[in-house]
Chains A and B, each alone.
Chain A
Amino acid sequence: MNRFLIRLNIWLLFGLLVIGVSGCAPSFDRKEMIRDITDGIIVPNHQLFADTADQLQRATAVYVTDPSDAHLQAVQDAWHATNLAWMGCATHRYGPIRESLIINRIDSRPPRVSFIEDRIAADSVIDATFIENIGSSSQGLSAIEYLIFDPLSTADLPHNPRRLAYLDHATVIFAQNAQVLLDQWTADGMNYSQTFIDADLEGGEIQGSMNMLVNQILHDVEDITWDRLGTPLWHPTDGAIDPALLEAPYSQSSLARMEATVQHLHQLYTAGDGVGLDEYLDFLDAEYEGQPLSQVIEAQFVATEEAIQAIDEPLGLAIENDRVPVETLYDELAILITLIKVDMINHLGVTITFNDNDGD
């Protein structure tokens, strides 16, 4: 019995020692990093988006009552502001927000122009209920873009009450959806921001917030490179150049959207003034060819932003008139993909997938 007690005490002491040493470790507070990114970037971005969507709705209401060119210009300006604000939110489609599909209702591309025109040409009621019940690609940012930027649509707008009604109710529902999305992140609503911060306790797991964040950053870089830029640059089936495949052709804002997305991903990477993934990589002593990996990725973000700024005309025109800077941008983005997908993820021990699976 005494021997048993002695052994038990030795094991207990060993356990306490392990826990004590564990508490003294030079740890990196990953949860603090996620908090900085969530509270400092994600939530304010959603607030900005809700505000700009509200301004778009107000500008549209003015235009509907007085459809002058000046008021249309105000609507277009408000749309551009909302469009760029949205690029700071579109990345963050996690958990219940992803499942709610509200993001699809906010911005689903390309718009279903034929449906929109058919409804305007028909005689059924166009009101808020109608907009709420139609498909994602017939409402939201892309449908509004078509209505206020397409030359034929803008020519018809001042004279067609049904087109005006479609625009008016589409912006009302759009602003409502922006508010609903904001509420999902804030304490007034679902408070997903706290759930997201707490989820980092399982950092290496599929549902851990760092895993989701890094996967979404990677998804967005691939999306820009392969779809938003690569598709119009190299059509995936026959290699033909097809500017019509641009993501925002009516407003000619494809390049601006890309720039806003890259800037947002860059912001997520550094967490602005907070603790970001770059500092975490430094903590992990991650290197690339003898240099700190964090600095290499930072330099690549800058190089990519400069490549975007070097294109001095709308993307569709640039693809047709001067492909060299566009291809340079593509190459810079491809390097960024490799650095994030291969190097950064290798060092972080993150799993590239949103789906569960075993490994060994």
Chain B
Amino acid sequence: MGIHFYFIMRGFGSKFAWLYVPHVINPLIVLRVAFGLLMAISTIRFMLKGWIREFYVLPRFHFTYLGFGWVRPLPEWGLWLVFGGLLILSLWIMLGFFYRPSMALFFVLFTYIELLDKTYYLNHYYFVSLFSFLLIWLPLNGRFSLDVYWGWAQERHTVPAWMVWLVRVQLGLVYFFAGIAKISGDWLLDAMPLKIWLRARTGTPLIGGLFDFVWVAYVMSWAGMLFDTLVPFGLMWPKTGRWAYGVVVVFHLMTAVLFRIGMFPYVMIACTLVFFDWPWLNLFSQGGRSSHAVIDRRCLRWFCLVFLSVQLVLPMRHHLYGGPVNWTEEGYRFAWRVMLVEKTGSAVFDVYDPQTAIAWRVYPRDYLTMAQEKQMAFQPDMILQFAHYLEGEIGRDVEIRAEVYASLNGRSSRLLLDPEVDLTAVPYDWRPRPWILPLDEVD
């Protein structure tokens, strides 16, 4: 096995030499400016909406990620400092000022905020964390940057092709897996959840009336699946690149108008600019040099292999758990499962004290914010976390069971969890959760 892998790695080296061919740096420069600008706008928007206080200061309890329970919110002034820092770093990234430390610190601060509470998990937040980590290692300050202007970085017109393609492949994976996730009975055969969402948007000017036709939901479902699956290839092929980007812009603007998905459409519109080489930028300056790889080739191979392997495995890991991922949510996050479910739930907790034989009912809204309660009510891992938190709040050895009803994509409500299972006896870990009740007809 080890020897076989060794030969694969040697083959990788010889067959993929084109990855080291110089490639114009312009796509990375455009990406740097667009990414920095979008992050600055996104940070300002977050602060202006009052989300720092609402998401991270007001809640008594936070749903941290497995293995990151130690991540705790700073006091409110500290959080404002973090967001202020993110804003400044975004602008510095845009300007190419102190680029690499700025991007590294941006990654750390942004990821810290995202790790605080999974209630607010969004695919595009994960994307920003992942992307900012990737961009730390690439010389995005090689042109049109203050680093170059002040001589802190060497101007360069080209970089090894892998640097550009690594970014493009990462973006392509987002679309591709988002498309693969849509190949399901719910999405393609029942046009769910678009059928629900579109009929709630019939007030949209000019085209709103269309959403009352059921066939429109089917057309948009199939078009959405085909768009996500195929657009990365369209963007990568020079002959179709411009057309594909036009479709990207139209698609994302339409989702921005129709759905409340914040900055995601704009982030994707901005970042997909990296699929173009922007030759006209060469008119502005001459000279510079080609870049050698910032890390040696062997390290590079391993870095790329590990990074891309993780990106290929994470979105598919739900197959290891079995069961319908949209219902169980085992392997749902970090998998580019975008806009797949209209899911609602209602959860109450029954506490039993074996010492006193007293039973009583606890309502999560007494402990959680409305947003936290809403998200927890249909996500089994968050329900388990809350049960453990509740046991700690009660402060003695009690049994806690959850009565949770949930509905997925228009199905009738049904029990999500086995209401007889004492959740205080269930560990919070990566293992499959047999206490999640099956939802038979989901594929």
A16-64 CB contacts (< 8 Å) to partner B: 18-19, 21-28, 30-31
Question: Please, what's the 1-or-0 string for A199-229, where 1 marks a CB less than 8 Å from any CB in chain B?
Answer: 0111111101000000000000010001000
Q: Please name all residues of chain B whose beta carbon is closer than 8 Å to the beta carbon of A235 when the two chains form the complex.
A: 360
* A349/B339 in contact, CB under 8 A: no
Q: Please name all residues of chain B whose beta carbon is closer than 8 Å to the beta carbon of A237 when the two chains form the complex.
A: 360
Q: Which of B148-156, B259-267, B311-319 contacts A (4 or more CB under 8 A)?
A: B259-267
Which one of A18, A240, A353 contacts B374 once the chains associate, using CB atoms below 8 Å?
Answer: A353
For chain A, give the interface size range: 35 or more
A11: CB under 8 A from chain B? no
* A338/B413 in contact, CB under 8 A: yes
Q: Please name all residues of chain A whose beta carbon is closer than 8 Å to the beta carbon of B409 when the two chains form the complex.
A: 346
Q: A202-B203, A352-B374, A355-B371 are in contact. Are A345 and B361 (CB under 8 A)?
A: no
* B203/A201 in contact, CB under 8 A: yes
Q: Please name all residues of chain B whose beta carbon is closer than 8 Å to the beta carbon of A30 when the two chains form the complex.
A: 202-203
Q: A357-B371, A359-B122, A360-B124 are in contact. Are A234 and B199 (CB under 8 A)?
A: no
**Cα distance A289–B344 in the bound complex, in angstroms:** 17
* B259/A359 in contact, CB under 8 A: yes
Q: Please name all residues of chain A whose beta carbon is closer than 8 Å to the beta carbon of B200 when the two chains form the complex.
A: 203-204, 348-350
Q: Which of B32-40, B207-215, B241-249, B270-278 contacts A (4 or more CB under 8 A)?
A: B207-215
Closest B residue to A211 using CB positions: B200
* A25/B210 in contact, CB under 8 A: yes
Q: How far is the CB of A82 from chain B (nearest CB, A)?
A: 29
**Cα distance A91–B353 in the bound complex, in angstroms:** 36
* B199/A284 in contact, CB under 8 A: yes
A288: CB under 8 A from chain B? yes
Q: How far is the CB of A348 from chain B (nearest CB, A)?
A: 6
A298: CB under 8 A from chain B? no
Q: How far is the CB of A360 from chain B (nearest CB, A)?
A: 5
Number of interface residues of B (CB under 8 A): 58
B281: CB under 8 A from chain A? no
**Cα distance A286–B410 in the bound complex, in angstroms:** 8
A98: CB under 8 A from chain B? no
Q: Please name all residues of chain B whose beta carbon is closer than 8 Å to the beta carbon of A338 when the two chains form the complex.
A: 346, 405, 413
Q: Please name all residues of chain A whose beta carbon is closer than 8 Å to the beta carbon of B203 when the two chains form the complex.
A: 30-31, 200-203, 208
A304-346 CB contacts (< 8 Å) to partner B: 334, 337-339, 341-343, 345-346
* B209/A342 in contact, CB under 8 A: no
Residues of A within 8 A of B (CB): 18-19, 21-28, 30-31, 200-206, 208, 222, 226, 230, 234-240, 284, 286-289, 334, 337-339, 341-343, 345-360
- Name 27 interchain pairs, CB-CB below 8 A, sorted by A: A22-B206, A22-B210, A30-B203, A203-B201, A226-B363, A234-B361, A236-B360, A236-B362, A239-B353, A284-B199, A341-B345, A342-B345, A342-B406, A343-B413, A346-B407, A348-B196, A352-B344, A352-B374, A355-B371, A357-B51, A357-B120, A358-B122, A358-B262, A359-B259, A359-B261, A359-B262, A360-B123
8 closest cross-chain pairs (CB), A and B: A358-B262, A239-B360, A349-B200, A22-B209, A204-B200, A25-B209, A342-B413, A25-B212
